Amino acid sequence: MAVMKKKGDKTTPAISTASLPDVIFMILFFFMVSTTMREQDILVKFTLPEATEVQKLEKKSLASYIFIGQPIPSLQAKFGTAPRIQLNDSYKSTQDILEFVASERDKLSENDRLQMTVAIKADFMTRMGIITDVKQELRRANALKVSYTAQKTLGY
Amino acid sequence: MANKKVQEINAGSMADISFLLLIFFLVATTMNTDSGIQRVLPPMPDETQPQQAMDVKKRNILLVFVSKFDDIMVGGERMDITQLKDKVKEFVLNQTDDPNLPEKEMTKIDLIGNFPVSKGVVSLQNDRGTSYNRYIMVQNELTRAFNEIRDMVASQYFGGKKFLDLEEDQRKAVQKAVPLKISEAEPRNIEGGK
């Protein structure tokens, strides 16, 4: 005779959560490896222009960033809506670029100084006047490698 | 009571701890990989030295001008952005040895041999009122023209490979054969008609 199953008090077994920490740790490690620390607060809002022929920045440690765009909405009451240049954590004028480049260059080792790249992150609506001024200052500061940051698209 | 077992550490809160860490990393890090159009600016001319007149023949220059209304003028005629790439390619390659298009100079390059390197320079000028978006679009088209020429040379000499698939030294050779000659000229203010 087959063993009769008891009816009525059948409960679903609890799902084992013993491996949950392992799973979460795996996700954690994935994020630790694939992301970088947020380095600065961005005080300007910008939408990057789009391009197809973009190259990746070879080394992030060699890059310094110049942000150009309108102040973020919460600061517009104070600073207006004219495009601003952000270096490090504050709005600066073009005259400060020389000093900025010099300090960024000092952070790098002797061998890397020639490889320093300045990434210009500017809003696509910006007029070229301000960007030309920035470029002229960069030339004066002898930071000749620039990268016009753009979003990669597949083209048209 | 000598053989009392060591109590196991309760690992139930491990998941919570790792969730906390995970959320911390999610908030504190960014994932964006920065990519952009890379350029090398010309060095600032030395003010102590007298300015030397640029010794470049007219046929070797292709003037690309972007106006403040975002119109593009190439070599004296107005042009749509979709035509720009082909115009630049035609200019750099000069396949018919047209006397109005740039000269070529036979140069010996490792791995390739003698190659007619074009002397053409694309001179990009813009107004202060040009939009950055348009400027990037033009830069993109110029880069695309040069990249396509490099792909062509690469597949011709290195067995159908694309430029980006080449070995390091092969890539250097192709770069030498097709130098990226885009001059971002001194800014100037253009008032009205020229």
* Chain-chain contact of B34 with A152 (C-beta, under 8 angstroms): no
What's B156's DSSP letter?
Answer: H
* Chain-chain contact of A24 with B18 (C-beta, under 8 angstroms): yes
Nearest residue to B85 via CA among B153, B147, B144, B136: B144
Contact B72, B81 (CB under 8 A): yes
Give the model confidence (pLDDT) of A66-93 as tens digits: 999 999 888 888 888 888 899 888 888 8
Calculate how close chain B gets to A5, using CA atoms only, in Å.
34
Instruction: Quote the ipTM score.
Output: 0.77
* Chain-chain contact of B35 with A25 (C-beta, under 8 angstroms): no
The tokens for B106 are: 């036979």
Residue type for A83, please?
A: P
Contact A84, A70 (CB under 8 A): yes
Q: At the top level of CATH, which class does the domain A44-152 belong to?
A: alpha beta
Give the model confidence (pLDDT) of A26-37 as tens digits: 988 888 888 777
Q: At the top level of CATH, which class does the domain B60-146+180-184 belong to?
A: alpha beta
- Domain regions of chain A by residue span: 44-152
Contact A79, A92 (CB under 8 A): no
Stated pTM of the model = 0.79
Q: CB contacts < 8 Å between A and B, how many? A: 150
Instruction: Give the Å distances, CA to CA, from A73 to A41, A69, A77, A80, A123.
Output: 14, 12, 8, 9, 15
How far apart are the C-alpha atoms of A108 and A21, rounded to whole Å? Answer: 39
- pLDDT classification of B193: cutoffs 50, 70, 90: very low
